[in-house]
Copies of this chain bind each other. A is one copy, B any other.
Amino acid sequence: MTTEMSFVDSALRGWKSNVERADKLFGALSPEQLEKEVAPGKNRLIYLWGHLAAVNDGLLPLLGIGERLHPEFDGMFISNPDKSVQLTVSGQSLKAAWQEINQKLWDGFLKFSASDWAQRHTAVSEEDFKREPHRNRFTALLGRTAHLAYHVGQATLAQPKA
């Protein structure tokens, strides 16, 4: 494997392991448990899960993999804070959406060459990319991986004891 593909491999492993941690944590929760706040007055588990699903969904167009699958999640899980909007998604449908989003991302990731990963993402113009070449797909992947870890860390605090 070339050095550049070895770096892609590392990044994909990191992404996958954080998605799997989230899968395991959120996927095991009952509807009642999903209502629990991670700390008093803070986000509920269902909000964090929906937030991660919505942000990951946004990676589909950002990386040029495809259209968003669930743009309707943004109003519930990104642009408004928890408990300010009625959720129109159940834990079960969120789980299905989460899996669908991550599968489509993963299929897309595996098609990228090292050079594809180094190309600009769709939120930066060609002109800006010349000055800021770090605004590429690879950086976006690493950023979203840290975003997953950040909220999974919070979610573990409300996790029921095994």
Contact = CB atoms under 8 A, between A and B. Distances in A.
A143 interface: yes
A95 interface: no
Q: Indicate the size class of the contact surface on chain A.
A: 35 or more
A143 B146 CA distance: 10
Number of copies: 2
Contacts of A148: 146
Interface of A: 1-4, 6-11, 13-14, 18, 38-40, 42, 114-115, 117-118, 133-134, 136, 138-139, 142-143, 145-154, 156-158
Given A39-B38, A142-B14, A118 B3 contact: yes
Contacts of A14: 139, 142-143, 146
Interface centre among A114, A133, A148, A157 (most CB of B within 10 A): A157
Nearest to A6: B118
